[in-house]
A and B are shown apart, each in its own frame.
Chain A
Amino acid sequence: MPVSLLWAVDVYGRVYSLSTAGQQWEQCRDAQMEFKRVTAAQQCCWGIACDNNIYLNVHASDLPVRYQEETYENQRWNPVDGFSDRLLPSDRWQLSDVTGLQHQPLDNFRLPSSSWEWEGDWYVDENFEGEPTEKEGWSYAIDFPATYTKDKKWNSCVRRRRWLRYRRYKAMDTWAKIPSQQTTLPDPFSDISCGGWEINEEPRGRLSLWAVSLQGKVWFREGIYHHNPEGSLWEEVPLPGEVVQISCGPGDLVWAVLWEGQLIVREGIGRDCPKGTSWAMVDSPSPDVGATHVAVGVNVVWALTKDNKVWFRRGVNSHNPCGSGWISMVGEMIMINVGLNDQVLAIGSEDRAVYFRQGVTSSELSGKTWKVISVPRDGDRSHSSASAHSLQSAGCYFCGEVRAQSLVTKVRSAGPAVLEEETIPLEGEVKAPDVGVSLSPSQSVGPLDPQWSNVDLEEAQGQQAQTGAVVDTADTSSLSSVATFTLAMEDPYGVDEHPMWAWVSGGGCSVDSHTQLNWFNSMVQSVQSMSLSVTPAQTAAWRKQIFEQLSERTKREMDNFRHYEQAIEQSVWVKKGTMQWWRDWKPHKWIDVHFALEQFSGPEGNKDGILFIYYNFYEEKKYLHAFVNEVTILVPVLNDSKHSFAIYTPERTKQRWPIRLSAATELEMHDWLALLSVSCCDSRGIQGPPSKQAIWSITCKGDIFVSEPSLSLEAMPYPTPCDQMFWRQVGGHLRVVECNSIGIVWGIGYDHTAWVYTGGYGGGFFQGLASSTDNIYTQVDVKNVYIYENQRWNPVTGYTNRGLPTDRYMWSDASGLHECTKTNMKPPSPHWTWVSDWTIDYSVSGGTDKEGWQYAADFPASYHGHKTMKDFVRRRRWARKCKLTTTGPWQEVPPIPLSDVTILPCAAQSSVDVVPLWAISNKGDVLCRLGVTALTPAGSSWLHVGTDQPFKSISIGAASQVWAIARDGSAFYRGSVSSQSPAGDCWYHIPSPSKQKLKQVSVGRTSVYTVDENGNLWYRQGVTPSYPQGSSWEHISNNVRKVSAGPLDQVWIIADKVQGSHSLSCGTVCHRLGVQPLEPKGQSWDYGIGGGWDHITVRGNSMEPPRVHLPSLTERTPLPVRNTEINSSAVGC
């Protein structure tokens, strides 16, 4: 789980945040003044300060907020001057926008606010549609406006070029004032709420911000996007009454409370209309008592009434934003807020504590109980001068009602780091020196203030006893320093009792029912940790002690007695069960079988086993068997009707026909899979986590498999056949995995989340023995399921859902062959659950109209996004998000979502050497990860590498040669990348093979391979150290989905349409044979596991195969290779 923040304001106007991984409120020190309210999103937090201005705090991210300004320089040819800026009167401006209608001279561009800075000066864009231009970036045309080409022709009369300049948002992690508009707002703001980031597919950063003014008017902030975090202007929203408070959810819910106590609900909010169209009125939950407060989430509405009662609105969703009725909930609150995942936070009316609603899940949105968040504040632990200052100013602002509270319990709230206590408020007699006792063990927070000076220990203890301190000072060893607090001013809030909160916002706080939070018992824990001194270090001590003693015990009790006989003889163990088996012969069907696994110990103590499948054939009992040590892979094939899995052996891999079995329940299947998997690993002597050299692959379903390469896997001329590789599953769910040979492994989920491998194994359904205890974390992935709505035009009714009899289903999959309706469509497997409703998908290639329709002359055909006279059919795509929660040895690398990643493949010299790692964000930015080493594989931060267009694939070779593919399908080489200059200096454009758009690149030791969108595999010819860009593309093979080139220049691919004796298989792992230094392209393909594979990386395997001396007969002649076809496009049908 990534760390995210809960924001709150206390009654003195101090802003605090609490991390989901943290155990104390951290004060936001840079808040120059007190705040009234805050509203948070994941990437920023908005607030109203006491000067009534609106402030924005954008959280620093490795990806800068930068905006590309552009303007076009236009020129026309005349016989006298040649091309010059003397244009015809009817022409456009010399400097204009792309349409030519706006005059845009360079010095007209101004920074939008003081929070921005220019990155550099204006420069000319020398790329034109993915191709480099001749020089100076000019593109030519016959006349404005027309089609531009990069080549000057005889009839080129006009030309233009693009000027670029980037500006960057610099006010990160600080409260920056939003400049007030020219048209001054009538009155100051009293409430704000942000949300709406889920209503359309805009990248993270787009927000709806609603504000309420003191006169009860509502304003909407226009134009908040990632590259414009401040938004552009306020627009007033007409109202049926005067509003006191407003709440905007992540989706399309916006509710507000009127002065009179009714509620109003915004209707008509949608993808193209984040502001909505009208208001609907909802009565207060209680007829006599008006509503005072409302909070909305994605699918929930909570409200408070004047008597502090809490209400939950039933039946709220996108189609019915008003809901159907109120339910009274327990608790008395004065403020309530709904955070991410519809989690609920509130502030109690009595104690002003922040409460978290426990047990809120998508099926139980109202949750179970209120639980108080009882963590201390950082200010409770130590006084820095900064906090003293802010306390003071806060004290001037609010009246000090807190003073008179009792003190003794306060000490308990202090954390383990520094305990302090003041005598004054309690005793009332000792006025001047406040006495503090600082218990500061090793984890003390920073250096002590100069106001602290050491005094004698006994004296302090005496004072402590006097004040009735609860600290057990018997444990003197942890009392490392005792000090006197000599701040002259009496600080009225020095150590107050539990904090009093005024406002809380969970809009940036990503917790759900699975999240482990340390927010609730920390007081108890910290007191306990003092008395029992259980610290993380010591936790390790008891564990270490047990490990050490156990190994000592082994030495003592067993080492000298190995020759003794074992009391229990090893015997055969048989595990039996009933299953269904997909019969090997026609007609294929599921038949009931008895299944047995016999395990026995081999002569050297190694375990082995045999699988038996007993079936009836014409009343005759027969069986099929497989040796466990021949099983190459166990693949779970979960679909909604069967809990089935496939068992492959080398023979069955060749045939493309595994043993398919199905268990009665999912649990039973998992038990079998875990047992079989342990059994297979035992028989091969494989234990623990994958090695650094391991080959990783991913199936189309996102399952992760790993194989230990044998030493002779890349041997010449007789490599280990690919179908004999043993694959075992690793928990987790990924779309991409990349590794290198020192054990750094990164993955990317379907939702583009970046993950780093933790060194564990197992997870998922591998519980118990097949899984490590440590290094296994919860992993969440989200993907879309799509269905299509198809319509045909007829002259009477226009487009209707009544098609012709020959047509496809009106609701279908992409092919149109299978009926898929909104109601019958299920998530891909039982592990997935729906997390959204069906929505129209506008991001379909080819474009859509405003309602999401794509038009075509007939089914199936190519679709376009607008209706023409020739179109008679149309379709639109509906998407629904589903979520998978599993576990695996993966930890999230927040916050930037990625689409590709690559790690320098070769071995580093030591575990602290920095390893280059490059990635592409899902927006197409090129990123370079800093601080990646074998010890810290997650690295520390991203370095942004500028590009003029979005990228989609990247790969770094063993000699730091970086290649990338842009979204337009052309390749780029990054110059001058080295350990001194990890980000290199500039991009060299490399045209793609003619008429092909490249989609993926992989660079090995020296070879560069790319795959294009039509499945062709290309090898870069002519790459030399002095000319690393190479000279031309050479076609190697077709039907290729992905390629991975490794540090030995070995080449592996995922191939489609591979022939087997039983079936055609898409997504097959293939190994290029015959790759040698002098023949880097290799000769032919060897086929491995397949049928549904999507990704492979061999970049960890840097083991040089043993040298084989060939008989001189075969010298310099093509070598016969087993199990292959000597044919360069062998992967063809």
Chain B
Amino acid sequence: MADDKDVLRDVWFGRIPTCFTLNQDEVTEREAEPYYLLLPRVSYLPLVTDKVKKHFLKVMKAEDVEEMWLEYEGTPLKWHYPIGVLFDLHASNTVLPWSITVNECWTQIRLHINDNNFPDRDLLHCTSNSVIEAHFMSSIKEADALKHKSQVVNDMQKKDHKQLWMGLQNDKFDQFWAINRKLMEYPTEEGGFRYIPFRIYQTMSDRPFIQKLFRPVSPEGNVHTLGDLLKEMYPAALPNDGEQKRYQVVIHGIEPLLETPLQWLSEHLSHPDNFLHICVIPTPTD
């Protein structure tokens, strides 16, 4: 008998097999071997690529490199999106392992010439883990503002915040969820959170993502479903009657049925930042 708790574990322990290769244009002392890793879907790229960095540094002059950025088939990968979202958005339905190209920023170049190879238009700089921590914690706070008017996150102590972050950073499911469960509670009589923290991503648009206020329960007391959310936020994602399905609605690499209650999704399929990240991608044509 499968329990809803198992979903949390499955979500947390989701891994994407990844092959890192160094950009051909990089100057190396010798040829760089590709590097294979299992990346946690719920984590962020800079948190898990220390090994990659080390690996490629071996073939480069260490002092040259300050920052590393990654791309997939020419698309720079935003480090502040969860890894799973990046994969679902750009690379789902492709052959595994996921092939990521590593680019290195040379300190000198970036310092002296403003026009270096870093895609400033697409990526934020990420110089240390504290930047990710700040981003992660602000996401959690934003989500709780939506869910509980920030009451839960504000009632937490500093060490609880730290535990959430350390749990994510060190891939400690129990540690993370010991605190995170408090963020997932809600008064029974209200039937759900105040608003569902969600983001809808799309590959076809320049808009980064859709994020609006949406309640888990309608004023009449109906439970809102994933379908209701999309109908309001992104009607094009829903198949018209009798028509071939044009888009896939992917969360954590799976396609939940449109009648799945949104509140349940938010409680079980949210990323550690407490947002439900929904990717709308074109249905593969093959």
Which residues in A have some Cβ–Cβ distance to B below 8 Å?
Answer: 516, 520-521, 524-525, 528, 532-534, 538, 541-543, 545-547, 549-554, 556-558, 560-561, 564-568, 570-571, 573, 575, 599, 671, 674-675, 678-679, 682, 688, 759, 767-769, 771-774
Contacts and interface: CB of A to CB of B under 8 A. Distances in A.
Interface stretch (B23-31, B220-228, B232-240): B220-228
A759 B17 CA distance: 36
A525 B186 CA distance: 21
A896 B190 CA distance: 34
Interface stretch (B1-9, B137-145, B274-282): B1-9
Interface string B216-252: 0000111101010000000000000000000000001
Given A524-B220, A564-B38, A557 B96 contact: yes
B21 interface: no
Contacts of A516: 188
Interface string B176-204: 01100100000010000000000000000
15 contacts: A541-B257, A542-B259, A545-B257, A546-B256, A551-B10, A552-B254, A557-B14, A564-B36, A566-B37, A566-B38, A568-B170, A573-B166, A575-B175, A771-B5, A773-B3
A561 B257 contact: no
A549 B7 CA distance: 11
A1069 to B, nearest CB: 29
A510 to B, nearest CB: 18
A525 B222 contact: yes
Contact of B38 (A553, A567, A570): A567
A567 B5 contact: no
B16 A759 contact: no
B73 to A, nearest CB: 18
A306 B16 CA distance: 73
Contacts of A552: 254
A528 B177 CA distance: 34
Interface stretch (B43-51, B56-64, B104-112): B43-51
Contacts of A541: 257, 259
Contacts of A553: 10, 14, 252-254
A326 to B, nearest CB: 29
A554 B9 CA distance: 12
Contacts of A774: 1, 3-4
A366 B175 CA distance: 43
Contacts of B2: 547
Interface of B: 1-8, 10-11, 14-17, 36-40, 43, 47-49, 51, 96-97, 163, 166, 169-175, 177-178, 181, 188, 220-223, 225, 227, 252-257, 259-261, 268-269
B199 to A, nearest CB: 19
A556 B96 contact: yes
Given A547-B2, A565-B36, A568-B171, 16 more contacts: A520-B221, A528-B222, A532-B259, A534-B223, A542-B260, A549-B254, A549-B256, A557-B16, A565-B37, A566-B38, A567-B37, A567-B38, A568-B43, A570-B170, A679-B174, A773-B5
Interface centre among B17, B97, B169 (most CB of A within 10 A): B17
A768 B177 contact: yes
A553 B255 CA distance: 10
Contacts of A682: 174
Contacts of A557: 14-17, 96, 253
A564 B17 CA distance: 7
Interface centre among A516, A551, A556, A557 (most CB of B within 10 A): A557
Contacts of A571: 170
B59 to A, nearest CB: 18
Contacts of B96: 556-557, 560-561
Contacts of B220: 521, 524, 528
Contacts of B175: 573, 575
Nearest to B160: A671
Q: Classify the secondary structure of A's interface with B.
A: helix
A568 B47 contact: yes
A759 B1 contact: yes
User: A-B pairs with the 3 shortest C-beta distances?
Assistant: A561-B17, A567-B48, A549-B254
Interface centre among A543, A554, A771 (most CB of B within 10 A): A543
B192 to A, nearest CB: 14
Contact of A671 (B7, B37, B38, B178): B178
A564 B255 CA distance: 26
A542 B5 contact: no
B238 to A, nearest CB: 13
A315 B178 CA distance: 44
Contacts of A771: 5
Q: Classify the secondary structure of B's interface with A.
A: mixed
B267 to A, nearest CB: 10
Contacts of A525: 221-222
Contacts of A769: 5, 8, 173-174, 177-178, 181
Nearest to A554: B10
Interface centre among B2, B36, B96, B181 (most CB of A within 10 A): B2
A873 B10 CA distance: 69
A567 B2 CA distance: 28
A629 to B, nearest CB: 16
A521 B3 CA distance: 28
Contacts of B170: 568, 570-571, 573
Interface centre among A541, A549, A570 (most CB of B within 10 A): A549
A1032 to B, nearest CB: 49
Nearest to B227: A532
A674 B179 CA distance: 12
A675 B40 contact: no
A567 B43 contact: yes
Interface centre among A520, A549, A561, A568 (most CB of B within 10 A): A568
Nearest to B8: A769
A550 B7 contact: yes
Given A561-B97, A568-B43, A546 B260 contact: yes
Nearest to A568: B171
A545 B172 contact: no
A74 B234 CA distance: 93
Contact of B17 (A558, A568, A773): A558
A679 B172 CA distance: 12
Given A525-B221, A759-B1, A534 B259 contact: yes
A567 B40 contact: yes
B178 A675 contact: yes
A599 B173 CA distance: 12
B51 A550 contact: no
Contacts of B97: 561, 564
A556 B10 CA distance: 13
A567 B39 CA distance: 6
Nearest to A533: B259
A594 to B, nearest CB: 14
B178 A772 contact: no
A575 B157 CA distance: 14
B191 to A, nearest CB: 10
A570 B40 CA distance: 13
Nearest to A535: B259
A546 B7 CA distance: 8
Nearest to B9: A769
Given A565-B37, A566-B38, A774-B3, A521 B254 contact: no
B256 A547 contact: no
Nearest to B260: A542
Given A561-B97, A564-B37, A772 B256 contact: no
A524 B222 contact: yes
A1035 B181 CA distance: 54
A671 B1 CA distance: 27
A521 B47 CA distance: 47
Contacts of B256: 542, 545-546, 549
Nearest to A571: B170
A538 B259 contact: yes
A136 to B, nearest CB: 59
Contact of B7 (A547, A565, A688): A547
Given A549-B254, A773-B3, A558 B38 contact: yes
B259 A674 contact: no
